[in-house]
Structures are given as structure tokens and as C-alpha cells.
Amino acid sequence: MRRQVDYFCAAQWPTFTPPLTIIDPFTAATGIRVTPEPGVSAVTLSKLLQQRDAPVLDAVWMDGGVSEQAAAQGVIAAIVPERVPGIAGMVDEGVYRDGDGDIFAVSTGFYSLGIAYNANEVGTPPASWNDLWNDELAGAVTFPSPSNAMGVPFLAEIAKLKQTTLSEIEPALEDIKKLQVAAYFDTAGAGTNLFQSGEVIAGAHYASSAFAMRDQGLPITFVVPREGAIGGDIRLHLTANTPRMEAAEKFVDFAIGKEPAKCMAERIYVGPATRDVELSDDARQRMPWGPEGSVASLSLPDWNDINANRSSVIEAFNRAIAAR
């Protein structure tokens, strides 16, 4: 009888296909059957809280930000390197530790938010977030709303450029008022629609979405701004109190190996969190940090600061921007 490890997939990438990249090869290698239960990170966390004492889920993917909340609420277990030896092959940025030094999550790939623009419509290619304020882009710019996973991190990056903080976001919002945004997007697909329709010609958008539009024949170019593209990742966790911990640990160890990391990078162009993964030239050109960069080239959000200020930032944004 085959053992079973359940997991909850909460990926934000539209084309994220774990059965092809991780689950099927894992089952073939170990004989352990995996039952996927797809969903979004916030719902995953709610289920973990509801199932705290008798979890159905054993290993869960969640986004940065929600990952920290789950750790703080005690619904995920520490990942012990001796039982998940693949951690030794990961980049430091892909291993997440709590205040006691225990590992609460590992990354299975980085994505980024950078600058996308229509090369047929934009005369001077943008090279910095500040270039979104160029006169030729007025009224034809977009960026994610705070309800998007990277919306508040984008506002944090703009606040940093304006030498302020999330807790004092008003100066950054005053500058955003001057940006003459055509529309904000809640989902990556909605952002892509804005470019496809011609409603916008430049803005903050996901690297993977920009490359997908280029593959469709649209003249869209993706730029890593000189300040660094804003990085995010999808992280894998062990569920606290799972009765199938040994199988779940094997699943996590497999997921952070070189072959799954390579497959993810080649299929959906996420940056590997595992070291020494050899990629094709096509995949290298589409990495979230650019063809010559690395994870160190990303501007990684301070999720604890974002979580602490999220509600007040959204309220301030809605009051100053969305209600206009």
C-alpha cells in the first residue's frame, strides 16, 4: 500500500504546474502518492488554522508574507536540515528562519515585478522606477493594486525611493498621484490585459507575464530597474502536527532538488533557489533578475514590516488614490 502525503498548492503563477515539475517525478521516485489541493495562500492559512489539531494537509506552498504569518501563528513545523538534507544546496535567500534560527520555509523559485513597456510606443526605454514619471508615459501607466500579492511591496519600494517608510507612506502616495495611472490591476492577468488592449504602454508588471506577451508577438520588453526588480517567491512548508511528517519531509527535500528547480525554471521562468542549476540560454534570458543577474539582484521585501503596516497602507491608498 502506497503512503500518501497531502499538500496544498497556493501558487500565484498562472502557469504553475506542480504535477509536471514536482509531484509526478516524486511519486515515481519514492512510491509516495501526493494528493494536490490547489488554492490561494490566504485560504491555505485559514485551513491550517482550522485544522491546527488534526491537519489534513501535510506540506503547503504559500507566498511570502502569508508564510511569515503562518510561522507566527504556529501552524507550520520547523524544517530540520538533518531530515531535509537538500537545504545544504540552497541559496541563503531561499531559506527562511524565525527569531530562534529555526527554518520555517524554503523557496521553490523566485519571481519578480519589474518594468514592462511597449517598445513601439515608448521612445526612451525606462531604466528606473523613477522613469515611470516621465512625461511621455503620463496617463498610460499601470501598477498592481494593494490587493495584489506585490501591490504593497511595490508601494514599499516607492516609499524607499522617496526616502520614507510604509508607516509614513503619505509622501509616496502624493508622488503616485502625479503618476497619472491609467488603471491598477488586482491580478497578473488583468495587468496583461491592459497592455494587450493598448490602454497602458508601461508600468510595473511581472517578468513572467511580460515574457508571455512577447511570446504572443507583442512588442513588450521587460526591464530590471536599476534599483532591482522587486522579488517574491513561492515557499514550501511542513504542517505542524501532521501524522505523515516523514513523507512530507521527503517531499520537501525532493522539491528543492536540482532537477525540480531546473524544470520550474525552464517551464515557467522562475529563478532557482537551489544552487548550481544549469539552465538553457532561453531560460537564462527570462530569469526574474535578468540574464546576467542573480537572486542578489532582487529587491526582496521586508515581509514583517509589510505585514505590520499592510492595513494602514491599504487604507491610506484607498483614501488618497483609489477614491479619486
| Domains along the chain with CATH numbers | 4-110+232-292 (3.40.190.10), 111-230+301-322 (3.40.190.10)
β-partners of residue 34 are 5
Tell me the C-alpha distance between 316 and 322, whole Å: 9
Query: Measured between alpha carbons, how far is 223 from 207 in angstroms, rounded to an integer?
Result: 8
- pLDDT, residue 323, reads 61
* Alpha-carbon gap, residue 71 to 11, rounded angstroms: 18
In the chain, the DSSP E strands lie at 4-8, 33-36, 59-63, 76-77, 95-97, 103-118, 141-144, 181-185, 202-206, 220-223, 230-239
DSSP 8-class letter at 3? -
Record the pTM.
0.90
Per-residue pLDDT of the chain (324 residues; tens, 9 = 90+): 344 555 433 333 334 556 567 888 898 999 888 888 887 888 899 999 999 999 999 999 999 999 999 999 999 999 999 999 999 999 999 999 999 999 999 999 999 999 999 999 999 999 999 999 999 999 999 999 998 989 999 999 999 999 999 999 999 999 998 988 999 999 999 999 999 999 999 999 999 999 999 999 999 999 999 999 999 998 999 999 999 999 999 999 999 999 999 998 998 889 999 999 999 999 999 999 999 899 999 999 999 999 999 999 999 999 988 665
